[in-house]
Amino acid sequence: MPAQHLKKRFDLRGWVVPLGLLALWWLATAAEWVDTRLVASPVAVAEAAWQAAISGELWQNLAASLQRNLTGFALGASLGLACGCLLGLSRLAERLVGPTFHTLKQIAPFAWIPLLSAWFGFGEAAKVAFISLAVFYPVALNSFEGIRATRRELYEVAQVLGLTSTQRLFKLLLPSAAPAIFAGLHLGLIYAWLTTLGAEYFFSAAPGIGNTMIDGREHFAMDQVIYGLVVVGCVGIVLNHLAGWIEKRALAWREPHHH
């Protein structure tokens, strides 16, 4: 059997569980094994999603969530990369800041909510700060570990070539640490989406997918709640695959080329 056909067959196996759960969900609601006021049927959820899509409500909420998600990610990733590089490059900075950094990273992002709300209020600034905080630590930690893992032989090569500090950073250290840095960015993007939903739950109401589910819960519209969950899951999958694709393309130069 050709390799491509074999690959396709194995790829299809990933649909077995989702389709099985969908069939079980439809059967349970159609046969009234469950209270449809609590578990809306797939048809009702699809209708709610369709109505939200054609009215524009879905796209407005999705755009709002993605905007705060990507803003928080960009801010947290930038600060995390800068902090990780500083700690990785400077032994003095690690001795001064490292203990505090490693202590604070043990605090769950949600534990910061009371303090963030006191500093930034309950609006958009607090949501972005919350997301940035969740992204900061995995990016900083992976950047730090990636730079520290650089082999000593590369430093010796840089010294022989007479590279300046800036050249050493961009031509030696960052390329060497790239896999760890991208792993941190990938993890940070996942955390950003999770905390985006958390921010929409815990801070003031505003357009967003999280608020779609909150409104559905308050109005006891389970079809709206479930379609919101489906959208959240689909966006998470897309972001995860997008991050993986970017990481693979960015690190393609590290893979050996076979002729």
Evaluate whether 176 touches 155 at the Cβ level (below 8 Å). Answer: no
- 19-28, 125-134, 149-158: least confident range: 149-158
Average pLDDT, rounded, for the chain: 83
Res 121 pLDDT > 90: no
Domains, the chain, ordered by start: 33-254 (1.10.3720.10)
What pLDDT does 221 receive? Answer: 84
Evaluate whether 39 touches 222 at the Cβ level (below 8 Å). Answer: yes
Q: How far apart are CA 177 and CA 85, in angstroms?
A: 10
CB atoms within 10 A of CB 91: 10
What pLDDT does 38 receive? Answer: 82
Res 10 pLDDT > 80: no
Evaluate whether 190 touches 240 at the Cβ level (below 8 Å). Answer: yes
Mean pLDDT value across residues 176-203: 89
